[in-house]
A and B are shown apart, each in its own frame.
Chain A
Amino acid sequence: MLEKEVCYEATLDHDFLDEIYSLPGGKEIKRCIQCGTCTGSCPQACQMDHAPRKIFSLIRAGFRDEVLRSNTVWLCSSCYSCAVRCPKEIKITDVMYALKRLAIKEGKAKRGKKATILSRNFVGMVNKYGRNHETELMTRYILAAEPFNLFSFVPQGMKLFVNGRLPVMPHKIRNLDQLRKIMEKVEELGEI
Chain B
Amino acid sequence: MKYTYYPGCSVKATANLYQESIDAIAPVIGIELEELDDWNCCGATAYMSVRELMSFAISARNLALAEKHHRDLVTPCSACYLVLNKTNHYFEEYPDMRKKLGQALEAGGLSYSGNIRVRHILDVIVNDIGMERISSLVKKRLDGLKVAPYYGCQIVRPEMGFDDPDDPQSMDVLIETLGAEAVKYSMKTKCCGASLMGTEEKMALKLCRELLMDAENNGAHCIITLCPLCQMNLDIYQSKVNSLFKTKFNIPVIYFSQLIGLALGIKSSELGMKRLGVKVSGEMKRIIEGA
Contacts and interface: CB of A to CB of B under 8 A. Distances in A.
A81 B157 contact: yes
B260 to A, nearest CB: 21
Contacts of A98: 52
Contacts of A159: 236, 239, 277
Contacts of A173: 38-40
B198 A80 contact: no
Interface in A98-132: 98, 100-101, 104, 114-116, 118-120, 122-123, 125-126, 130-132
Interface stretch (A8-16, A49-57, A60-68, A161-169): A161-169
Contacts of B43: 126
Contacts of A184: 107
Given A79-B153, A118-B198, A101 B50 contact: yes
Given A186-B54, A186-B57, 10 more contacts: A118-B199, A126-B41, A131-B9, A132-B9, A135-B13, A155-B239, A160-B232, A182-B61, A183-B58, A186-B104
Contacts of A135: 13
Interface residues of A, number: 65
Q: Which of A77, A116, A178, A186 has the most CB of B within 10 A?
A: A77
A187 B100 CA distance: 11
A118 B196 CA distance: 10
A160 to B, nearest CB: 6
B240 interface: yes
Contacts, number: 200
Nearest to B237: A156
B40 A126 contact: yes
B157 to A, nearest CB: 4
A115 B49 contact: yes
Contacts of A181: 107-109
13 contacts: A93-B158, A97-B48, A118-B195, A118-B199, A122-B46, A123-B47, A132-B10, A160-B277, A171-B12, A186-B104, A187-B54, A189-B104, A192-B100
Contacts of A74: 199-200
B40 to A, nearest CB: 4
Contacts of B191: 43-44, 77, 79, 81
Binding site secondary structure of chain A: helix
A175 B49 contact: no
Given A156-B240, A181-B107, A182-B57, A130 B40 contact: yes
A191 interface: yes
Interface of A: 24, 43-44, 47, 74-75, 77-81, 83-84, 91, 93, 97-98, 100-101, 104, 114-116, 118-120, 122-123, 125-126, 130-135, 138, 141, 145, 155-156, 159-160, 163-167, 171, 173-175, 178-179, 181-187, 189-192
Given A183-B54, A185-B104, A115 B154 contact: no
A172 to B, nearest CB: 10
A131 B240 CA distance: 29
Contact of A171 (B9, B47, B154, B195): B9
A75 B200 contact: yes
Interface in B192-220: 193-196, 198-200, 203-204, 207
Interface of B: 9-10, 12-17, 38-41, 43-54, 57-58, 61, 90, 94, 96-97, 100, 103-110, 153-154, 157-159, 165, 189-191, 193-196, 198-200, 203-204, 207, 232, 236-237, 239-240, 274-277
A181 B64 CA distance: 15
A122 B107 CA distance: 23
B102 to A, nearest CB: 10
Which of B13, B104, B109 gathers the greatest number of chain A CB atoms within 10 Å? B13
Contact of B190 (A43, A132, A138, A185): A43
A114 B199 contact: yes
Contact of A78 (B153, B236, B274): B153
Nearest to A192: B53
Contact of B53 (A44, A75, A186): A186
Contact of B100 (A81, A175, A189): A189
B274 A100 contact: no
A126 B158 CA distance: 25
Contacts of B154: 78-80
Interface centre among A97, A116, A145 (most CB of B within 10 A): A97
